[in-house]
Amino acid sequence: MQSLVTPVHTPMAVEDLEARIRKACGAFDLEPMAPTGIVAGDVSTRRIGFFDTVVVALDARHVARGARAIRQDPGEHLFLLIQDEGHCRIDQGERSTRLSPGDMFLVDSVQPSSFVYDGARSNQLSIHMPRAEMVHRFGAMCTGGIAFSQSDPLWLAMRAVITKLLEEPLATQQLSEALLSLMGAYLQGMERGEQPRSGQTLLSRALAMIDLNCADPTFGASELARRLNVSERMLQRHFEALGETPRHRLLNRRLELARTRLTTTSSKNGIAGIAYDCGFNDLSYFYREFRKKYGLTPGSAVRCH
């Protein structure tokens, strides 16, 4: 199976690699295979669609996230882990799953987990998805650790979308939502007959509409409520579970889209053209909100790239 990424395995102190993993993924403890305290690996981050993504390469004995690490760093995410090279055994809850190249596992960061490599070289792609949002989209069926079977046709579709996201990071809205929709279809297949609550259905539809329409400057919270056939106040109540408002969600999506375009491509119209293409009509507002969110100006984001 063709690899999705090509990371570099660099010899380094186990403390250094552990620190890189903690910075990118949260509190994890790493145990090397050799008593020398040296491991070969690397950690790199990138943005694909609307997802923060981490590539982890290592040859350790195992990596673990125990109860103490969870208390220190709750980091409530679901990690869609894709085994790209080598093998890994994941222990989470009552499940023990062996991953071969191409296998996927949805790791729940709020539950203890262990990743066993036994010193074999391994490359993994980890797509980070906010846990609260996923639970509101799909219910509790997405928690606790889920293995995706390669024998299921939906696995092949998910693999194709992930490959496309890696190749075309600018195609954010449709591809990001396609991945979530395929994942939801897989989970629903596991829980056939169980219907989501109406609040979850409304929030899921609202999130999908925002992802698909965020680049449209005429699309706002009132238009979202109109399309969902609910009042803005009712829509607001459903978003309270995520700790944000529909307007804040829409603004964040536009800023994320703009950051992706600023750091991956050039525009004939420059920063202003990218801002307008990402749904901003007011350039000064775009600059102010971009700096507030990322701590740097749009121009600095381009130069950093």
The secondary structure of 171-229 as a DSSP string is -HHHHHHHHHHHHHHHHHHHTTTPPPPHHHHHHHHHHHHHHHHTT-TT--HHHHHHHHT
Q: Which residue has the higher pLDDT, 75 or 305?
A: 75
- How far is the C-alpha of 109 from the C-alpha of 151, rounded, in Å? 26
Rounded Cα gap, residues 279 and 299, in angstroms: 18
For residues 251 and 195, what is the distance between their CA atoms, to the nearest angstrom? Answer: 31
User: What pLDDT does residue 179 have?
Assistant: 92
pTM higher than 0.85, yes or no?
no
The number of angstroms, rounded, from the C-alpha of 152 to the middle of its chain's C-alpha atoms is 22
CA 110 to each of CA 45, 47, 119, 160, 188: distance values in angstroms, whole numbers, following the listed order: 22, 23, 26, 28, 22
Cβ(110)–Cβ(70) below 8 Å: yes
Query: pLDDT tens-digit profile of 94-125?
Result: 778 999 999 999 999 999 999 999 888 999 99
User: Does position 82 have pLDDT exceeding 60, yes or no?
Assistant: yes
**Residue carrying structure tokens 């103490």:** 68
| CB 79 within 8 Å of CB 107 | yes
Query: Which of 179-188, 190-199, 271-280 is predicted least confidently?
Result: 190-199
What pLDDT shows up at residue 212? 80
Domain definitions of the chain by residue range: 10-190, 198-304
DSSP assigned state of 304: H
What is the C-alpha separation between 180 and 186, in angstroms, rounded?
10
| Residue 276 to residue 171: CA distance in whole angstroms | 16
- Given a contact cutoff of 8 angstroms between Cβ atoms, the answer to whether 90 and 97 are in contact is yes
pLDDT of residue 174: 79
pLDDT of residue 11: 92
| Crossing angle (nearest 10°) for helices 232-239 and 221-228 | 100
Residue 205's pLDDT is 79
Question: Would you state the pLDDT for residue 72?
Answer: 85
More reliable by pLDDT, 305 or 249: 249
Q: Residue 260, Cα to own-chain centre: how many angstroms?
A: 14
Question: Order of strands, edge to edge, in the sheet holding 113-116?
Answer: 29-31, 62-65, 113-116, 88-92, 95-99
What is the per-residue pLDDT across 141-163, written as a single tens digit (0 to 9) for each?
Answer: 899 999 998 888 899 999 999 99
Q: How far is CA 32 from CA 14, 63, 87, 100, 180, in A?
A: 7, 9, 16, 21, 35
% of the chain exceeding 70 in pLDDT = 91
Residue 201 predicted with pLDDT over 70: no
218-227 pLDDT, tens digit per residue, is 999 999 998 8
Options 2.60.40.2550, 2.60.120.10, 3.40.50.300, 3.40.50.720; CATH for 10-190 is 2.60.120.10
- For the segment(s) 198-304, the CATH number from 1.10.10.60, 3.90.550.10, 1.20.1050.10, 1.25.40.80 is 1.10.10.60
AA letter at 127? I
Question: What is the pLDDT at residue 65?
Answer: 93
pLDDT, position 304: 63
Q: What is the four-CA torsion angle of 171, 177, 182, 186, rounded to 10 degrees? A: 150
